[in-house]
Structure 1
Amino acid sequence: MDQTKKTYYVSIANGEISQLSTASPWDFKIEATDEEIIQLREYFEQNYSSDWQGFLRAHVPYIEYHYDPTNDAIDATMQKIYKMMYELGDQDAKELIKSQNLISEISNKEH
């Protein structure tokens, strides 16, 4: 597979990845290989699937949020997504992720 890095623009909320900065609003600018983009898309697809499971669970009133493994799965996948954004992102991405404490690994290393 091609290991050349290309510039991508990522929207976390929408799970969108584009090579055009003007195609839609974006949160992070990253440099990634085709393989890294495939992995990132898989993480977004996992969250989409988990989100639907959470939607269905929400209609069962006796299951509380903190006992819901679907939410834990989304949280774990978001950590993976933000870790990729930190590793592949530009300096602005790194600073935003650090300042917002979006991934625990960075926060813990600095304390």
Structure 2
Amino acid sequence: MDKRKFYISVESGEISEYKAGDNDDFIIYGDPDEIIALRECMDNLKGAEGGTGFRAIIPFREYHNDDENDLYDYQLMKSYKMIYNLGDDTTKRHIETMPFFGEFNKISDDQ
């Protein structure tokens, strides 16, 4: 399948073939199946984000002992790993500077 160019904004969860506003944090090239997988991953990230918000109102739960935050962290790193794997050279170089880049080996490509 042919790979097409997409603009990605992790913060807003946007995946677009068109550059608009500030949706170009990252540039990737993907086929339809890869983009669907990335969309599912980013949707899971948004869902996990909601769980962390609910958890935040419980004052006695510690961050480091918290399944909701662990799930969010996992989904965030999985999203970045997928973006890295599909990214152009600039995207790859940028993600390589992120402090969690060395943790990508802990993230399964098929979960």
Is TM (by shorter chain) over 0.5? yes
Shift of 1:79: 1.6
Q: How many residues align?
A: 105
Q: Which runs of 5+ in 1 are unaligned?
A: none
Which residue of structure 2 aligns with residue 25 of structure 1? Answer: 23
**1:100–1:68 CA distance, 2 compared to 1 (3 A):** same
Larger Rg: 1
Deviation digits for residues 25-46 of structure 1, max 9, x if unmatched? 3211000011111111111111
Q: Which runs of 5+ in 2 are unaligned?
A: 106-111
Q: Please tell me the residue identity of whatever aligns with 2:28.
A: I
Map 1:3-18; keep pairs closer than 5 Å. Answer: 3-18=1-16
Which residue of structure 2 aligns with residue 54 of structure 1? Answer: 52
What RMSD over aligned residues (CA atoms) do the two structures have, in Å? 1.8
Q: TM-score, normalised by structure 1?
A: 0.84
Q: TM-score, normalised by structure 2?
A: 0.84
Compare 96-105 and 33-42 and name the one that shifted more. Answer: 96-105
Map 1:1-111; keep pairs closer than 5 Å. Answer: 3-22=1-20, 24-105=22-103
- The whole-number CA distance in structure 2 between the counterparts of 1:77 and 1:35 is 19
Shift of 1:5: 0.8
